[in-house]
Structure 1
């Protein structure tokens, strides 16, 4: 019997086992996030990825509780990721933000906690806060997100703990080959956000041809390619059928020739990068780090 992708794990550089595949909840409101998490847990998902910036941690918390109730599962079987919000960057503010996240998620520890974006002049202090929380046993693994190689090297020069994960936008149209290579060299696991690359990647003619060849969906082709590149993936889905369908990628393997076809699709086309954010320069008078994504309905949802 073919082992499900949901049962496959990788060993992080600190020895922690992390699932290869999970659910992302970016751009979903609380109620949608709750329902997605419930369906994911009911269908065997262990890895759930959220962040304060998404404004849906309250919904994720309810989804975790209800999903475990319906399945009879245990918290220790799940792998929960959250991230330091950009506006909380800094040592003391990160410590306070972490405890707020624990409270909102209704958890006693986080499996993986990431710096969401490397806010200039603050991400070193933010990392030192994560190191303290990690050494205090409140986080099983710490990592980064959206760090280019220059910022990663700067972090490594000041760190006492090497990041376990770098979560990047990674898909056929944006393959981040240099960042992936440095991650391998430094023992950091690459994880993909937006692993399906949205409509452009899913509708790419090469991907569609491969889907027809392997009798799979375009999403399954991309997710299988991610897996064969040793990249962890957290595709977002709010539909039960796709939550299940996305995991069905271990009963086939892309040939080397077809992998190379996908490699050639790289356009180095990021949808978000540093210049898209005011907080890139914390000293900019127009800096608005307190903003959270527009789908934040936390207060309404709690009421």
Structure 2
């Protein structure tokens, strides 16, 4: 049986350690609900909380963190720079605003939310500067494909240590996950549950029944065993707790292969290369 638990951390290429599992707060617009979700998750052992400028809830996350009243190094905070804030000067000024909203002296992980061609390298240069200044512990990307990372590598001094991607059984992104791993980048799955679209899949249902677990727990266990980091989102305390209760069972090799076989290359959001070319994307993640 795996010795991992909700508190397990993975070492990043820069030497920092990131919790494998966290709580995403996408579309949590009700401040009280978000604060309660963060508190509930913390009590269940979550230590990573993932927000973004585009989500419009950094200030609420900041209040939740302050209410927790815990040592700063006990929690791991991720935020992301929005498309409209890319470019060196905009990154620097908008990140200053993010820090104020979060009521923090630094963030643990800063991500470029989407790759866009405008200011591509200038944006990353700002990320490297923020890391050098100690305002950011680790820097990474979100929704970057192989071409974007290969292009970035031509001028970057520090490469991303995390690449946050849409990953779930219907979009396993195995080639991208392998590419990240080969380049010492941790793949972190957003929408790891496929926003609930996979819960009724017969393969998932059968495996869940055999283990006495929920469909969500089986899917998250699949992520864990394939080496993904992941940030499921929920505002319901019971589901937040259930999503953390995945460390007392294992999927067999056959069950892992069955879930792997569900891949349809079906996206919830947009193709990153299209976003890169157009410079904006809808719907947002």
Q: Is the 8 A contact 1:142 1:164 kept in 2?
A: yes
Equivalent residue number for residue 7 of structure 1: 7
Q: 2:130 aligns with which of 109, 128, 133?
A: 133
Distance 1:53 1:277, change over 3 A: farther
TM superposition shift of 1:274: 4.3
Q: Is 1:23–1:234's contact at 8 Å kept on the other side of the alignment? A: yes
Tell me, yes or no, if the aligned pair for 1:30 and 1:58 is still in contact at 8 Å. Answer: no
> What is the distance in 2 between the residues matched to 1:272 and 1:248?
28
Judging changes above 3 Å, is the alpha-carbon distance between structure 1 residues 84 and 111 closer, same or farther for their aligned structure 2 residues? same
Q: Structure 1 residues 56-65 or 11-20, which shifts more?
A: 56-65
Alpha-carbon separation, structure 2, partners of 1:234 and 1:106: 22
Q: Is the 8 A contact 2:115 2:275 kept in 1?
A: no
Report the Cα distance in structure 1 between the residues aligned to 2:37 and 2:131, rounded to whole angstroms: 29
Which residue in 2 is equivalent to 1:39? 40
In the TM superposition, 1:48-59 aligns within 5 A as 48-59=49-60
Question: Which residue in the other structure is 1:187 paired with?
Answer: 184
Counterpart contact for 2:6–2:247, Cα < 8 Å? no
CA separation of 1:172 and 1:2: change in aligned 2, threshold 3 A: closer
Q: CA deviation at 1:7?
A: 1.5
Tell me if structure 1 keeps the 8 A contact 2:22–2:49. Answer: yes
Q: If the length of structure 2 is used for normalisation, what is the TM-score?
A: 0.94
Check 1:293–1:155 CA distance in 2 against 1; reply closer, same or farther (3 A cut): closer
Alignment map for 1:1-303 (pairs within 5 Å): 5-31=5-31, 32-66=33-67, 68-69=68-69, 73-274=70-271, 280-282=277-279
Give 1:201 deviation, angstroms. Answer: 1.1
Contact 2:22-2:50 at 8 Å conserved across structures: yes
C-alpha separation in 1, matches of 2:143 and 2:284 = 17
- Contact 2:115–2:272 under 8 Å retained in 1: no
**Secondary structure at 2:154's aligned position in 1?**
helix
The CA distance in 1 between the partners of 2:45 and 2:232, in whole Å, is 15
C-alpha displacement of 1:5: 2.4
Gaps of 5+ in 2: none
Structure 2 residue aligned with 1:300: none
Partners of 2:126 and 2:86 in 1: how far apart?
10
* CA–CA distance in structure 1, aligned partners of residues 147 and 270 of structure 2: 14
Q: In structure 2, do the counterparts of structure 1 residues 65 and 4 end up closer, same or farther at CA, with 3 Å as the change threshold?
A: farther
The answer to whether the Cα contact below 8 Å between 1:82 and 1:113 also exists between their aligned partners in 2 is: yes
TM superposition shift of 1:247: 0.7
8 Å Cα contact 1:55/1:292 also seen in 2 = no
**Is there any run of 5+ residues in structure 1 with no aligned partner, and where?**
295-303
Q: CA deviation at 1:275?
A: 7.4
